[in-house]
Structure 1
């Protein structure tokens, strides 16, 4: 009883000043379940994003009064009562850089209030969406999008997106996965401190407001420390064997995700595990941004073995170390020595725990800790480069990781996500834009400039080659064959915010030459936006 009471208290604390609105699954109940079970749309997210033409209560009442008798009637019912999302197509440009610049207006959305009955969350300032099915702002995507916006001189959008994230923290006590009601129960990799570092503003009032937001985000991730019991795990906090605290991915709900409802129901049914346990691990995998990867799978291949909540990830803890260091520095600049000392201490303890538990000294790479098994997992992934990106690694560790990356993760078209070909989209042979940036910036930090340039030039060439062939910039690529990526639970998306951002920022550091292949020339003297 006491633990349930504590968990309820933690949930209320995490909810912030504003109670989260109902998600579409909660709002439409049996109608939502019927639409998703019937697979009415190729993408489960389509109906989750639909805008009601009338009040939800009226729609549910109409559904209960005269339930559709077959799929055709159900489709007609949805068409009568909902407006479905659609997408605009950008014009074709002459060069990849011009195409990326032309995409920013296409992907920019104005500040808006939204239909109260819809799933979208209002934002006060303009923002950039990823594109395709991703019609709203996403948390960690936005940092990598902002890199390209800065390279293209769009500091105005960087500042306005920061305003939006501050608004979300003020309302909900966190930055959610994305601006849909069904995303409010989870966050994503905490890049807010790095976003703030991209700002050119030196306004004391603005800096004070952002420091408050940074501290609120840290409180969100560490709230579980108040309810740790003998299991050593509560919410997003994990007690390690020596008593130090690290973090894991989590979700405050244990139900199917609205945007992937049918897929989650099927996975949980096949898992043979308690349904809420599987749903929670699927949701936690979505909070990681790596949805899904062998990193989270007990057998390394089968999604039904997902166990995200048992894993202490190296990327998350590296980002939280950056957050703690950022808070300490900003507190010191504001003259608050007590705050600065506190967060410096938290960062020092986290760094020591990362070195103690997440470093694989035998094989020479950083990895993820299996809290249930009390050992590192066997999965080598591109997340091993996060401690280099953060500046946590020692020079010797960085040297060993560089050797492993060149031998095991470097593909013809860029950096592989893992060595495992599981069929999941965050595994080989796929490469993803954010991981290219983390790798290039981290390797350059430790003076592995040749390997950084190799990854960057291979990636730019892959994006350029596919853009010339299709006119599209894609969410992910197969870096083995330098073609569109595959895997995952939804069709391949184009747009695409973070690919645009990372590719444009890398092109600023590794400018293309004028030959027909548009291969990048020698690296420019550029900043990679170290925090």
Structure 2
């Protein structure tokens, strides 16, 4: 017999239920786990009393968490509604890791030998009835959610089943858009200057946090000096960079005073004081160990050369010259560029320059009435007389560059582009995926694009998309010639994204869709099987564990405890960008972790 409920209580309960049903089970962690009142409302709307005692919960703690339990009035069919689980965070986390994390790395993956079955209590039964979570994906998602809940100080949570069995494509897309980008965003200002300026590599006798301010930013110098004077215990050393740029002697002196370069700041109104102040302009870092401001990759260079009168000084200088060029190229490192990079006119750099020239011409023509005024201090000998530039100048530059690329970089016999060695005055023979940058930039003719698709693409297309270079070009690998991360068998997000765009530009939609699907499948498979891992690069020839890379410094983005909070910048971008190339059928297949070969056979047109 049901317990009598007066009309006022019934209406109040309905209001609570309405509020709870509006709660988004896919909210960001700071909303889902960070607001205790929301969780209490969420819990109260789904309680029912039981005659038996709770298992694994202290009833007093539970009542403190969810308040008084309303009486049960009707049955709740969990087969109709998505289940919700009542979970003791610390106890469940401890038991989960003990049973399932057999390799003790605080991740639950297909490499672990646990039972891959874990029972949790349903919220509708106050935790009494148990429900089995099955499979690596759901159980690893439970680990991730419990880790986040613990981060927010939760002792007990109501957890939606939808958060555990969410379509993996939807889950990764949601995490990238709502969590990873925020986690990868940094700013430098007074709120964190001491933390970011501390340098674990500072081996000087008296390490102090130090920041260097460009001479053209006096307001930043005054800002940081104000902080240093107000908080002397910080020992913040604020210094100007020299006027006119650093000299060689000054660069060497920096070894004794390492510090941080001040980045852009913006004015804002401080809500507490109502006064104008400065704060750091936010920027996004790649993730993993790469925690600084990058463009393509690190623009950091060596701070000096060894000074010696040895006979091999010139050879040493050449080594650093080529090494700096490799770092600047973004493809660090690769046998394609090693010991020769500074001598190369590369396909990728010239493709970029061609696109700059074309884009600048179009911008001048479309947005400046074909007449861009140049301030006096920025004029060159070419535009000094008239004081402006027209699109024609940049169009001519682009045409000249295309003619030079056709002459020096295009190999008609092989139907692909190669780098040109300006010292040896010959094309190299290293087959690189940068050949497809020419399609992205639009420098390839339709004929050249067809040759690239028909003759070059088959050499680079593998299980997980495009490989950086061919195995033939890389050559043999051994103890004296180790793997380089921008060579075979590794694939990188920028190479994929530029190739997709280039293929679409020339009308090769099927090829673009196929390559995008393969790359995204590889990402989502590692995400599902390896505790939500999203890493810097992948071995695109490995179907099972492509995120395991044994080259140079290994991989970035996979060394986390419990839950990945950032992913990796350009892989995050490639995933959400790549989804735009897939039709609805492909997206559904991707969500079911269907390999491309299986999908292709299932959807092949039968004639």
**Alignment match, 2:263:** 122
Of the two, which has the highest radius of gyration? 2
Whole-angstrom distance in 2 between the partners of 1:487 and 1:279 = 25
Q: 1:346 aligns with which of 394, 397, 406?
A: 397
Structure 1 range deviating more: 405-414 or 284-293 = 405-414
**Alignment match, 1:152:** none
Q: 2:341 aligns with which of 290, 308, 332?
A: 308
Contact 1:318-1:392 within 8 A present in 2 as well: yes
Q: 2:458 aligns with which of 407, 411, 418?
A: 407
For 1:68-87, list aligned pairs within 5 A. none
Q: Tell me by how many angstroms 1:110 deviates.
A: 3.0
Whole-angstrom distance in 2 between the partners of 1:123 and 1:508 = 33
Q: Tell me by how many angstroms 1:354 deviates.
A: 0.9
Where 1:296 maps in the other structure, the secondary structure is coil
Contact 2:185-2:285 within 8 A present in 1 as well: yes
Contact 1:473-1:499 within 8 A present in 2 as well: yes
Contact 1:295-1:379 within 8 A present in 2 as well: yes
Q: Tell me by how many angstroms 1:488 deviates.
A: 4.3
**Alignment match, 1:135:** 291
Q: Given the alignment of the two structures, is residue 334 of structure 1 paired with residue 368 of structure 2, yes or no?
A: yes
Q: 1:431 aligns with which of 464, 478, 491?
A: 491
Whole-angstrom distance in 1 between the partners of 2:261 and 2:176 = 26
C-alpha spacing 1:476/1:272, structure 2 compared with 1 (3 Å): farther
**Alignment match, 1:445:** 505
Residues 220-276 of structure 1: CA deviation (Å, up to 9, x unaligned): xxxxxxxxxxxxxxxxxxxxxxxxxxxxxxx9x7649xxxxxxxx9xxx9x997212
Residues 63-100 of structure 1: CA deviation (Å, up to 9, x unaligned): xxxxxxxxxxxxxxxxxxxxxxxxxx989984221232
**Alignment match, 1:274:** 315
Contact 1:254-1:279 within 8 A present in 2 as well: no
**Alignment match, 1:508:** 580
Q: Tell me by how many angstroms 1:382 deviates.
A: 0.4
**Alignment match, 1:104:** 181
Q: Tell me by how many angstroms 1:467 deviates.
A: 1.1
Structure 1 gaps of 5+ residues are: 1-88, 142-176, 186-250, 257-264, 298-305, 523-531
Q: Given the alignment of the two structures, is residue 481 of structure 1 paired with residue 557 of structure 2, yes or no?
A: no
Contact 1:90-1:106 within 8 A present in 2 as well: no
Whole-angstrom distance in 2 between the partners of 1:443 and 1:357 = 23
RMSD (Å), alpha carbons:
2.9
Q: Tell me by how many angstroms 1:461 deviates.
A: 0.4
Q: Tell me by how many angstroms 1:485 deviates.
A: 5.1
Whole-angstrom distance in 2 between the partners of 1:489 and 1:331 = 44
Whole-angstrom distance in 2 between the partners of 1:487 and 1:291 = 15
Whole-angstrom distance in 1 between the partners of 2:260 and 2:346 = 30
Q: Tell me by how many angstroms 1:487 deviates.
A: 4.8
**Alignment match, 1:472:** 533
C-alpha spacing 1:427/1:419, structure 2 compared with 1 (3 Å): same
Q: Tell me by how many angstroms 1:503 deviates.
A: 1.3
Q: Tell me by how many angstroms 1:408 deviates.
A: 0.7
Whole-angstrom distance in 2 between the partners of 1:449 and 1:378 = 29
Residues 494-526 of structure 1: CA deviation (Å, up to 9, x unaligned): 13000100111111321521652166999xxxx
Could you state the TM-score of these two structures normalised by the residue count of structure 1?
A: 0.54
Where 1:335 maps in the other structure, the secondary structure is coil
C-alpha spacing 1:329/1:112, structure 2 compared with 1 (3 Å): farther
Residues 408-465 of structure 1: CA deviation (Å, up to 9, x unaligned): 1000111010013451000110010000011111111111111111110000000011
Whole-angstrom distance in 1 between the partners of 2:262 and 2:187 = 13
Whole-angstrom distance in 1 between the partners of 2:349 and 2:548 = 25
Whole-angstrom distance in 2 between the partners of 1:355 and 1:464 = 39
Structure with more of its chain in helix, by fraction? 1
Contact 1:430-1:485 within 8 A present in 2 as well: no
**Alignment match, 1:460:** 520
Q: Tell me by how many angstroms 1:347 deviates.
A: 1.3
Whole-angstrom distance in 2 between the partners of 1:277 and 1:416 = 29
Q: Tell me by how many angstroms 1:407 deviates.
A: 2.0
**Alignment match, 2:329:** 288
Whole-angstrom distance in 2 between the partners of 1:127 and 1:437 = 21
Structure 2 gaps of 5+ residues are: 1-146, 150-162, 194-209, 212-257, 266-280, 372-388, 478-482, 558-566, 601-607
Q: Tell me by how many angstroms 1:335 deviates.
A: 2.7
Contact 1:111-1:127 within 8 A present in 2 as well: no
Whole-angstrom distance in 2 between the partners of 1:335 and 1:451 = 38
Q: Given the alignment of the two structures, is residue 392 of structure 1 paired with residue 414 of structure 2, yes or no?
A: no
Where 1:140 maps in the other structure, the secondary structure is coil
Q: Given the alignment of the two structures, is residue 325 of structure 1 paired with residue 362 of structure 2, yes or no?
A: no
Whole-angstrom distance in 2 between the partners of 1:447 and 1:254 = 48
Where 1:484 maps in the other structure, the secondary structure is coil
C-alpha spacing 1:487/1:348, structure 2 compared with 1 (3 Å): farther
Structure 1 range deviating more: 463-472 or 359-368 = 463-472
Contact 2:415-2:456 within 8 A present in 1 as well: no
Q: 1:493 aligns with which of 552, 556, 559?
A: 556
Q: Tell me by how many angstroms 1:327 deviates.
A: 1.6
C-alpha spacing 1:90/1:458, structure 2 compared with 1 (3 Å): farther
**Alignment match, 1:230:** none
Whole-angstrom distance in 2 between the partners of 1:119 and 1:487 = 32
Residues 98-147 of structure 1: CA deviation (Å, up to 9, x unaligned): 23222111111135365415235423321211101110221126xxxxxx
